[in-house]
Amino acid sequence: MIGTIQPLLKFTSMRVLDWIFPGQVHLTDADVAHIAEAWPLLEQLRIKSLSRDYVSPATLSSVFVAARQCPRLERLTLPVNVSRLPNMAGEPFYHTEDSEFRHEHIKVIELGTCFVDATRLAAIASTFAQAFPRLRSIQLDLPIAEEDIVDDSDVGYRTFGGRLCTAIQTLRQAKESGRIASWTDEGTLKILVRYFEASWDTDRRGEYNSCDEVLSYL
């Protein structure tokens, strides 16, 4: 995959790459780092696969590598295995209160299709809320097992980016108003986990009338 892009890396003033592949995209975290280092002026990096039936070797580390190397980046599209921990040395997934990293320009992040549990979704929401203050849109689709199919609208996957955006917006409001002291304290993460569980499975709502009501406790 990187061999296809390699000849273009000499064009160091690249600002937009929009490349849609009909098949699988096998970029590693190291590949994405190589691309981002070659094109630091990128404003849009869109590498999209039309295939949903595979697991990308790239992790969420690729998102942060691209963000750090490309300060003007506004839109990032990469197939990412969000269920895996980053595997690049020095690239922690959790960005704590002491971290100074912020990317002020990214508005859209598209991550492809990948199964991820509620705990991981909660971690993504809290991390993105802190690192990307202007983020307004996320694309992440979750594949559906046969036992999870509810009706004919379930066509092999469910879109979950909107749920992530709702959680991130609520987190920002809670932090700005002082209702939460930390992006990642235990109580905050527990509420986020419950929200994503209830969003996936209505039986997990328990005493709540809707999954959105869960977020009202932030």
The answer to whether position 133 is within a domain reads: no
| pLDDT, average across residues 64-78 | 96
Overall average pLDDT of the 140-156 stretch: 66
Count the domains in the chain.
Answer: 1
In a domain, 60, yes or no: yes
* pLDDT, averaged across the chain: 85
- Per-residue pLDDT, averaged over 125-140, amounts to 94
Report which secondary-structure segment, H or E, holds 166. Answer: helix 161-177
Which pLDDT tens digit goes with each residue over 76-108? 999 999 987 554 334 444 444 435 689 999 999
Asked if the structure places residue 107 within a domain, the reply is yes
Say yes or no to pLDDT of 17 above 80: yes
The confidence score (pLDDT) of residue 83 equals 85
The CA–CA distances, whole Å, from 85 to 70, 80, 96, 120 equal: 22, 11, 16, 10
54, pLDDT greater than 80: no
Q: What angle do CA 72, 77, 81 make, to 5 degrees?
A: 125
Please check whether residue 205 lies inside any domain of the structure: no
Q: Is residue 84 part of a domain?
A: yes
Quote the crossing angle between the two packed helices 118-131 and 186-200, to the nearest 10°. 120
23, part of any domain:
yes
For residue 52, being part of any structural domain is answered with yes
18-46: per-residue pLDDT in tens? 998 888 888 999 999 999 999 999 999 99
Residue with the bigger pLDDT between 194 and 147: it is: 194
- Residue 35 to residue 187: CA distance in whole angstroms: 38
What range defines the domain where residue 13 resides? 2-114
Q: How many residues does this entry show for the chain?
A: 218
Check pLDDT > 80 for residue 139. Answer: yes
Please, which pLDDT band fits residue 64 given cuts at 50, 70 and 90? very high
pTM for the full predicted model: 0.86
Give the C-alpha separation, 216 to 90, whole Å: 35
Does 54 or 187 have the greater pLDDT score? 187
In a domain? residue 10: yes
